[in-house]
Structure 1
């Protein structure tokens, strides 16, 4: 039988709760889910899913949001506009 080891790390409480809920729905414990992830990373030597930045949180979008919030607080440029799709 293989040896096991404990691993401790910190997670945001909301992330943990969402993961627990998803795992429960799949009939898995958090420990089993992390073990599956670790085994897959070790065997494939890659993260088994795509990791990318959220395009909404780009510097350009955040600056635009800050400007619009400032405009709303100043009660200017509050007209309706069409959404722009960049993706």
Structure 2
């Protein structure tokens, strides 16, 4: 039996971002952090990390590396002035 996962974000966040742009608001560091957390969550990192703590079986090195890449991208994006309006675009983030 397959379970389906609802992926949050995507178009819903794009609409929120468009509304924000119309109000003259710019993306904040917190917006970038939230996007990084969303991408990390969708990668399956957290369940794998919990499994590692519970069983002692190391998580995949690729997931650890992806986490480092996402953190680096978020830190780099949040230091830009101004933060690009399209900071959620896949081109700014590592492929998971």
Q: TM-score, normalised by structure 1?
A: 0.24
Q: Give the helix-richer structure, 1 or 2.
A: 2
The structure with the largest alpha-carbon Rg is 1
